[in-house]
Amino acid sequence: MTEPLTLIFHHIGKTGGMTLRDIVTRQYPAKALYEFPGGKEMERLDELARMKESRRRKIRCLMGHWIFGVHEHVPGPYAYMTMLREPVDRTISNFQTLSLSGEKPCADLTGRSVTRETYRAAEKNLGSFAAVGLTELFDESLALYKSLFGWKDISYKKINVTPRRPRRDDVPAAVIREIEARNEFDLMLYGAARAKFEKEAAAFF
Q: Which domains does the chain have, with CATH numbers?
A: 6-204 (3.40.50.300)
SS3 assignment, position 14:
coil
Q: Phi first, then psi: what are they for 59, rounded to 5°?
A: -80, 125
pLDDT(163) > 60: yes
Confidence band for 96, pLDDT divided at 50, 70 and 90: confident
Per-residue pLDDT, averaged over 88-113, amounts to: 68
Per-residue pLDDT, averaged over 27-41, amounts to: 88
pLDDT of residue 1: 56
pLDDT of residue 71: 95
Q: H helices of the chain, where?
A: 17-25, 41-50, 53-56, 87-101, 116-126, 138-149, 173-182, 184-204
Confidence band for 119, pLDDT divided at 50, 70 and 90: very high
Instruction: Please check whether residue 21 is in contact with residue 82, taking contact to mean a CB–CB distance below 8 angstroms.
Output: no
Per-residue pLDDT, averaged over 24-48, amounts to: 90
Confidence band for 42, pLDDT divided at 50, 70 and 90: confident
